[in-house]
Amino acid sequence: MILLWGSNAREAHPIFFHHVLKAVHAGARLHVIDPRRTTSAQWADTWLGLNVGSDVALANAMGREIIHAGLCNRAFIEHATTGFEAYAAGVERYTLEHAEKVTGVPADAIREVAHAYARADRAELCWTLGITEHHNAVDNVLALINLALLCGHVGRYGSGLNPLRGQNNVQGGGDMGAIPNRLPGFQDLENDEEACARFERAWGTPINRKYGWHMTEMLAAIDRGELTALYVLGENPVQSDADAHHVRHLLASLDHLVVQDIFLTATAEMADVVLPAAASWCESEGTVTNSERRVQRVRAALRPPGQARDDLEIMYDLARRLGHDWRYDSSEAVWNELRSLAPNHAGMSYARLEELGGIPWPCFHEDRLEPSYLHGWLWEDPLPRPPVPFTVVEDEPPVDELSEDFPLLLTTGRRLDSFNTGVQTGGYISPLRRAEELELSIADAEKLGLEDGQRVRITSRRGSVTAPVRVQPSLRRGLAFMTLHFPEEVETNLLTINATDPKSGTAEFKATAIRVEPVAGDGLGDRAAAVEPVAMAGD
Amino acid sequence: MSHALRAAPPRTVEIKLNGRPVQAREGMTILQVCQRQGIEIPTLCWERTLTPVNACRVCVVEIKGARVLAPACARKVEEGMEIETHSERVRHSRKMVLEFLASSVDLATTPNVDRWLEEYDARPGRYGPPAPPFAEGERDRLRAGHHEIPDGTHAATVHQPPKIDNELYVRDYAKCILCYKCVEGCGSDWQNTFAISVAGRGFDARIATEFANPLPDSACVYCGNCIAVCPTGALMFKSEFDHRQAGTWDESRQTVTTTICGYCGVGCNLELHEQDNEIVKVTSPLDHPITRGNLCVKGRFGFQHVQNRGEPAVRDGNGGPPAPAQARGGDGKGA
């Protein structure tokens, strides 16, 4: 069985969903948990339309039900986990009745999916930003991990936990150390003495063995005046981050802003220096790592335009200006250095990546492949590492509370033909594309007297934009939907809240309290008003 | 714990192929065995990523003791089977199929067909000059049984103007041999969108959207997985179509580079077909385990942002945001 939780893979990961549909046609059960009855949910045996942000309550209730029905995998729990008793006690108050009240999902439906998950021979639990774009993102993920541990659905062929990556190299970026606490090869910067020493030997210089800041922490540091210069590569935070007014204000306060991008994005417009870059996926050589940890080669098909240059060359030059003479003949030379320093990538030569159509990590040796799934050691006897813990997590509703002034809950996501802030997808003419719209449930549209195409003002506690309405039967009462795809027309992130998870730093894009009012005169020609700040309601 | 599902090893069957004893794995099709043995069987409606539909009949072979010829693409080998791949009966059947197709359909962009016409001595010209083409949309309105009896002086054809109703791909049904591949790729084999099917009966049969609506009013999601499997060029990137119309399509000047799609985390392999530093077409390798040749609209068509150089992208009034093209022009603020 396949459990998609907070993922509309049909539109956000269409080719992954082909594989899901192959399984469905072959008899696999598909269950989808999502506040919206998405195009993915329309293929499901069961759709659980939960209230936005009630994921922990739902997962805990499923866990409790699995325990009470005697369906948990006792042998696995005893063999490979710790903390089960505390977990069982922690979920005890999440009865099906309580969960029904909190999540809006009927108790019978919760029971059915819990039993189906627990009884399945093999079960994949996949999630996307519906789980992680919350102020309690890490708790959400831990709640799902608890379920997998409870049933032993991890570390086996066909059973696992599968976060579907949203960008072509978000996995690779972390693997390569482009996160503040890891060295290339996902090696810990503060706690892995051996790895740190290996890098220091190779580079002939001591490295700063101290965790850095992730982006949310950087923004906070700018606010405190501790961070005064920023070098942004291939990001458009002015439009992609929550609470856009605030981000714009922070970047404007910097002493120095450098942006390296393939376009003059809204963020690049604010920069002191713009470094035009080659498009990494078709104008340069290297690797990316996909959602299944498969490292694959990207290759140059086109010559970059004008003075645009390969990211690597720009960085070499920058290093030289800073007094470090970095010399590599090719992207392959950089990769081979990485392989020599990151054991989990050691076996992946360019030749082998070519021959095998990509290789998932870990790949320790050039003459061997590891199993395609992780955590198989959890089933080994004796257990070669310490057992893994259950974590007690509690339900916490979204930060942006609904009120009389802000009675509707806006959630955000992607549409099939567009991507993030539209910087790339804006370049092709999609017959599927309509201008940005506020999707409303039939019930709410009726209550507000709104029809398709009617222009409305959407106001949150942070900002206000206008957009046309589209009545969307797949939305339940009280729920509204928009995307971030067309910030030039509708800057959705003026509305969203910068309530971030304390560990992951991810903002709660999925839950914004809004109100919706018709625009007098239907708002024709007020596109400019859509991106101008308005008087903000008190927070 | 078992770490993988293991099926029982397949058994071997002994067959006779053109009089020669051959060992083959049980479950293989006759076509697969022939491919391994280096025997060329012409195919049009077969694709290794699709369920065989036995529509075109150009791959038929003779099986000893069988009343009718069998499609090699779908028929599985059996113990003791005696197969002739190029007997007189087979050659005659293939010749007729090729003649009927070539006299009624425009095969100008069908790979290999010229060679096969020669090899099987097919002479489509003997059915007379082609009948005048249909007017735009005329074939979509044909009704079963509502026909005048032809006078036999002209070859009946499906010739008609191409359907150009969107910016991404063109449907030129004068080139359609009704192989069903697009229907399968759009349907349960891969995309599961079911935007197209076969409408009509007999010689009126055609690939159609619901109510023959233009694509933008249909269920189509523009994945282009139909283009990827079309064997005749009836479905074609608009960019390739325009180049061909202008006489500038030149595969000898093209390179094909395999890279990874820049959108989402699935890691689809893209084959970028480049001519004069422009991407003119995108395909995906049929044998790659991630895509099996399939892509979504972003992977297939979402490349234009790297080559909107200088001029802003055309907008259709209510479309997306303007392409931020200035920065790619070389003379923009960033360059």
The reply to whether B115 touches chain A by the CB within 8 Å rule is no
- pLDDT score, position A531: 39
Query: From CA A350, how far away is CA A333, in angstroms rounded?
Result: 10
The answer to whether A121 and A487 are in contact (CB under 8 A) is: no
Domain presence at residue A209: yes
Mean pLDDT, chain A, whole residue set: 94
The reply to whether A416 touches chain B by the CB within 8 Å rule is yes
Chain A 469-488, CB below 8 Å of chain B: which residues?
485-488
Domain presence at residue A395: no
Instruction: Tell me which long-range contacts A359-365 makes (C-beta under 8 A, separation of at least 24).
Output: A359/A294, A359/A295, A360/A292, A360/A293, A360/A294, A360/A295, A361/A175, A361/A289, A361/A293, A361/A295, A363/A295
Hey, are the CB atoms on B330 and A305 less than 8 Å from each other?
yes
- pLDDT score, position A241: 82
Q: Is the pLDDT confidence value at A532 over 50? A: no
Domain presence at residue A148: yes
- pLDDT score, position A529: 40
Residue A145 and residue A184 in one domain: no
- Over residues B156-178, the pLDDT tens digits come to 999 999 999 999 999 999 999 99
Share of chain A above pLDDT 90, in %: 89
Give, in order, the Cα–Cα distances in Å from A447 to each of A36, A440, A455. 19, 11, 16
Partners of A298 on chain B (C-beta within 8 Å) are 259-260
Residue A143 and residue A252 in one domain: no
Q: What tokens were used for A114? A: 């819990």
Residue A436 and residue A352 in one domain: no
Domain presence at residue A174: yes
Query: From CA A526, how far away is CA A489, in angstroms rounded?
Result: 10
Range of the domain at A93: 2-166
- Over residues A36-46, the pLDDT tens digits come to 999 999 999 99
Per-domain residue ranges of chain B = 12-91, 154-302
Domain presence at residue A154: yes
Q: Hey, which CATH number is domain B154-302, 3.30.70.20, 3.90.580.10, 1.10.10.10, 3.40.190.10?
A: 3.30.70.20
> In degrees rounded to 5, what are phi and psi of residue A173?
-60, -45
B112–chain A nearest CA distance, Å: 28
Spatial CB neighbours of B166, under 8 Å, sequence gap ≥ 6: A431, B214, B215, B216, B222, B238
Query: From CA A511, how far away is CA A134, in angstroms rounded?
Result: 7
The reply to whether B23 touches chain A by the CB within 8 Å rule is no
Residue A233 and residue A310 in one domain: yes
- Over residues B85-142, the pLDDT tens digits come to 999 999 999 999 999 999 999 999 999 999 999 999 999 999 999 999 999 999 999 8
Query: From CA A482, how far away is CA A459, in angstroms rounded?
Result: 13
Tell me: ipTM over 0.90.
yes
User: What confidence category does residue B6 fall into, taking pLDDT thresholds of 50, 70 and 90?
Assistant: low
Q: Residue A105: which CATH number?
A: 3.40.228.10
B222–chain A nearest CA distance, Å: 8
- Over residues B22-68, the pLDDT tens digits come to 999 999 999 999 999 999 999 999 999 999 999 999 999 999 999 99
- Over residues A118-172, the pLDDT tens digits come to 999 999 999 999 999 999 999 999 999 999 999 999 999 999 999 999 999 999 9
Q: Residue A470: which CATH number?
A: 2.40.40.20
Answer whether CATH 3.10.20.740 is correct for domain B12-91: yes
Domain presence at residue A221: yes
- pLDDT score, position B5: 57
Q: Is the pLDDT confidence value at B7 over 90? A: no
Partners of B262 on chain A (C-beta within 8 Å) are 168, 279-282, 424
Hey, are the CB atoms on B306 and A279 less than 8 Å from each other?
yes
Mean pLDDT, chain B, whole residue set: 90
The reply to whether B323 touches chain A by the CB within 8 Å rule is yes
Say yes or no: do domains B12-91 and B154-302 share a fold: no
- pLDDT score, position A522: 53
- Counted domains in chain A: 3
The reply to whether A239 touches chain B by the CB within 8 Å rule is no
Domain C-terminal end among A121, A145, A166: A166
Partners of A264 on chain B (C-beta within 8 Å) are 324, 326-327, 332-334
Q: Is the pLDDT confidence value at A208 over 60? A: yes
Which of A282, A426, A431 is the closest to B168 by Cβ?
A: A431
Query: From CA B10, how far away is CA B39, in angstroms rounded?
Result: 23
Which of A157, A168, A433 is the closest to B319 by Cβ?
A: A433
Q: Is the pLDDT confidence value at B152 over 60? A: yes
Domain presence at residue A185: yes
**A491 vs B312, more confident:** A491
A260–chain B nearest CA distance, Å: 9
Hey, are the CB atoms on A357 and B269 less than 8 Å from each other?
yes
Q: Residue A202: which CATH number?
A: 3.40.50.740
- pLDDT score, position A399: 96
Domain C-terminal end among A301, A334, A360: A360
Residue A61 and residue A174 in one domain: no
Partners of B321 on chain A (C-beta within 8 Å) are 422, 426, 486-489
> Interhelix angle for A215-223 vs A244-252, to 10°?
60
Domain presence at residue A21: yes
Residue A331 and residue A425 in one domain: no
- Closest chain B residue to A260, measured at CA: B334
Domain C-terminal end among A166, A198, A221: A166
Residue A98 and residue A175 in one domain: no
Q: Which of B176, B284, B180 is nearest to B228 (CA)?
A: B284
The reply to whether A79 touches chain B by the CB within 8 Å rule is no
Query: From CA A414, how far away is CA A128, in angstroms rounded?
Result: 11
Q: Is the pLDDT confidence value at B320 over 80? A: no
Query: From CA A412, how far away is CA A166, in angstroms rounded?
Result: 14
